[in-house]
Chains A and B, each alone.
Chain A
């Protein structure tokens, strides 16, 4: 069915002929017949990665295949979303090994983007927990791979943006939990130096992330709130919650009903918002126990929050810089605050070591910020790209809608190896997206 689709940034949008499937043979027929399409799940990557004139939607291919409640091993079809998995595993004392800031993504998407979470420095990316998966290749056949068996296919699929084929089945390990609650600590940092020091001092925490105010200049440059968390034990819970330690939160949502006009979001309103957000924490340190829902998915409570950025959409700009490039981080943050663009809030996190074929994370600082699309934005982002490269960093393909191919090439040292695996498993560029064409990952 033809329809207009866009990913979470609402930029770009494109007309696409979308096909859904519920059974593997229907997918095999589609793959055999069609050309130049890309698999798409919930469309929560931000840019153009899962956009193409033809898309095959995995959302109906969403069955739970097995769940070993003793060993914590979960197996499902690729279109199952994390929000459906949590109510199944949490009551049995298990949690997702890695989760991004939204639960509205499919498992196929988690692999294709090799998503990371607040625990990257401890647990790595999603791919670190995948034991086995099936991929429907260009020949319509199912290829099973593991980190050791058909390893080239496996590692080119993790973070490979769907270019090796359609991921259809994933088996992964879960994380053991005693309760569904998080012991949370929030620390206020007056400036950038302090927040980076606090990250270092608190790296033993399983979960850590900071909200940073990108518009603040002068003494308070880089003021932030660091959010730390650990899965709570039963003893940590207040009396009323001890009887049902593994309760699943009800997950009530409110809807953002329409696109906000673009003028609403300007330097002034964002400054006010950031002031209030920073100011809401009166004390320097807050300790409390919260359900996993507000801790991991604060924005999921507002459906379609992306409409707040208006009809033209937004870019989420996310890069990582090596630890030794702290100066680079300072420079880039200065450029952003001088330009006065920027989002309500930007997210700062320190990644742990990782060195995979094409996955985004590597040890260092990662910053993600939403910027509404407007005139003059793209040239500015090109300038930022140059700085990111100069300081040894790179950009996240799942957030990208505009980088130039040379930025990808210079940021990912093993890109040639990745491309040669794509040529092996996707020789006719059957799996192809706007992004893969733009970045010369597939032929045009």
Chain B
């Protein structure tokens, strides 16, 4: 048990952090809340780093501390810290800003449960915990748009969660246990397996905003504060992807999960980018782009068990996606939500413009930026698993994505008709985009940090 606790240190630290943050928020010391949050996240990240190379499970196999789980902590915790800073930049001085910080950390705790889950029940808990916090985060501005967005999100999330809970009971019926490791036998009961898989995909697909479970995402992102949109598009999405990775490590291939994932991937990429192409609201544009990016993650998922690159590609692209997506949202926070407000941004402020260009080109997968290396590995993994057709669809979508992102870039470098937009740049926001810019630019070149010794 003592060993179990040491393995759970990051989660325990996070729990204590949230408690302290709530106490700080009760007395409205928002700066203190922020400081506690950042310190707790840093400490938890450090403890996660020490766990690298561990492959263990606790609580009777229901919670895993393995390659995916540890790396997901190392991605999600810093991403949460960046989101906190972004929230500070956006909401400083607003009523109860501290509750945003504490909710974010709380939701991240749920995200860690998802990405480390070794049991169906833990996935349910993780989905519910991340969901509850996210509903409140979206509703935070308390205006009409946010309330509507949160309402939609809540209804959608409740239904998806209910379907999932109902469906995964079939797995329990088939396998006699809720552990993933028991799922290896479910291949002989195809109907039960399919029902459970479908339910799981509804629940986690909704969390990861995969087509066709994505409808909530653009509205929720747009209604929420920009920092919350950035947070949800990265942390909760990645948690769901990593949770799927944990499940597919055990789920027998006979259930057909590979094909289900491949089809979702093709749909998400294509639908996401086609819709992004006509958006004029940048938050919505990034929302659809992040739906498409979820599709790219699935290329790594289909290869689990068939390619040594699969897990690495998920982790590297996960890190890249976290950096470039948060960075892009940070620039939107500086420039404004509307494409109109972005007109001429690159000419007014060349460094902010260059940063946005880097984030967008990285999202499109142009080398030598971080996003490229992630995508190249995802493609390699999917090819090795025999999904060449899916990679070709992904490649065609990459061309489409370039059109999506170039629209923003072109607008940024057009001569502006009249000087109009006010830029609101705060120190916290600047820290966020400078850090993510450095990661996006340089981490591709030092990708070997992420390719651990556990493969090959």
Question: Bound pair: A and B?
Answer: no
